[in-house]
Amino acid sequence: MQIIDGKALSAKYREKLKSEIQSLKSRGVTPGLAVILVGDDPGSQVYVRNKIKACEELGITGFECRYPADTDEKTVIAKIEELNANPDCDGILVQLPLPRHLDERKILSYIDVKKDVDGFSAYQTGLMCLGTPDLLPCTPHGVIELIKSTGVEIAGKNAVVIGRSNIVGKPMFHLLLQNNATVTVCHSKTRDLGSITSKADILVVAIGKAKFVKKEMVKEGAIVIDVGMDRDENGKLCGDVDFEDVKEKCSFITPVPGGVGPMTITMLMSNTVAAANRRPK
Ligand code: GUN
């Protein structure tokens, strides 16, 4: 079994991004990313902090926009419209989940699609589904890069995704399909989950249940990608896969932390640089 080191792969990609940012700066363009956070969800606080930190390390301008949990829709939309019009801001991200009184779809729909570095808009989603992607959703894109880093070909493989969220499961399906895998998406209503997952050459797990996947559910020699960010019974950070139980059965596995997480942020930085590259010369 080999561990797929998401931190090391991220560092490699970030080096490449740094030189792209340098050449952008030499023509007077500093990429800018705005991160909007409403409320004080502890997970979101950590994600936003890490995104802003990554901006600082790479020389991207981070616009951090924090609002209290009871902020109304109008205020958030006004901020998005201001950022849409700001030429120094190339990417806009609204951290999810939003407080329940806010309509997520409605708010996201105000982001200029050219600045949609999360790839969550109907436009970017549509391009991805058509197989002509522009700005790809960061976590699924990072997962594809992690799989490719193993050197194992995706084409023709049985890939199984557990989870069907708009952020991970659904786009993951499209990207694996685009890479010519035979893809099955499992979810909470799936019957006999283990019989499906144990046929997976590539298993991507994104359900948000700590240590849910055990070795009985995994095919011998599979590539296992763990998108989970959970806490175990002792409050320690862990994934959706029981790493200790599964590790000897698979060929490659991502750890939590240090697997998918760093790649998600790196892909976000990459989308921001791609958006900045399109500023008028
Ligand atoms: N919440 C969990 N993952 C994500 C993500 O990739 N982007 C945003 N905006 N919110 C998230």
Q: Could you tell me if 242 and 170 lie in one domain?
A: yes
CA dist., res. 163 & res. 168, Å (int): 8
pLDDT digits (tens, 9 = 90+) for 137-192: 999 999 999 999 999 999 999 999 999 999 999 999 999 999 999 999 999 999 99
Tokens of 213: 């996947």
Task: Collect the ranges in the chain with pLDDT lower than 70.
Answer: none
Burial class (CB in 10 A: 0-12, 13-18, 19+), 168: buried
Query: Among this protein's residues, is 118 annotated catalytic?
Result: yes
Any domain includes 12: no
Query: Among this protein's residues, is 95 annotated catalytic?
Result: yes
Q: Which of 170, 164, 151, 177 is nearest to 252 (CA)?
A: 151
Q: What CATH number does residue 105 fall under?
A: 3.40.50.10860
Active-site residue among 90, 118, 240, 242? 118
| CA 118 to ligand 1 centroid distance, Å | 7
Any domain includes 90: yes
Q: Could you tell me if 227 and 190 lie in one domain?
A: yes
Q: Could you tell me if 161 and 69 lie in one domain?
A: no
* Residue whose token pair is 């950022």: 83
Q: Could you tell me if 223 and 144 lie in one domain?
A: yes
The pLDDT score that the predictor gives to residue 118 is: 98
The pLDDT score that the predictor gives to residue 191 is: 98
The pLDDT score that the predictor gives to residue 101 is: 98
Question: How many domains does one find in the chain?
Answer: 2
The pLDDT score that the predictor gives to residue 281 is: 72
Which pTM was predicted?
0.97
Q: Which helix (H) or strand (E) holds 237?
A: strand 237-238
The pLDDT score that the predictor gives to residue 280 is: 81
Which structural domain, as residue segments, surrounds residue 162?
138-261
Amino acid 153 reads E
CA dist., res. 125 & res. 155, Å (int): 22
pLDDT digits (tens, 9 = 90+) for 56-75: 999 999 999 999 999 999 99
229 Cβ closer than 6 Å to some ligand 1 atom? no
Q: Could you tell me if 92 and 207 lie in one domain?
A: no
The pLDDT score that the predictor gives to residue 124 is: 98
Any domain includes 5: no
CA dist., res. 5 & res. 190, Å (int): 31
Q: Which of 175, 230, 260 is nearest to 252 (CA)?
A: 260
116 Cβ closer than 6 Å to some ligand 1 atom? no
Q: What CATH number does residue 248 fall under?
A: 3.40.50.720
Peptide bond preceding 97 in cis form (omega within 30 of 0): yes
Q: Could you tell me if 102 and 155 lie in one domain?
A: no
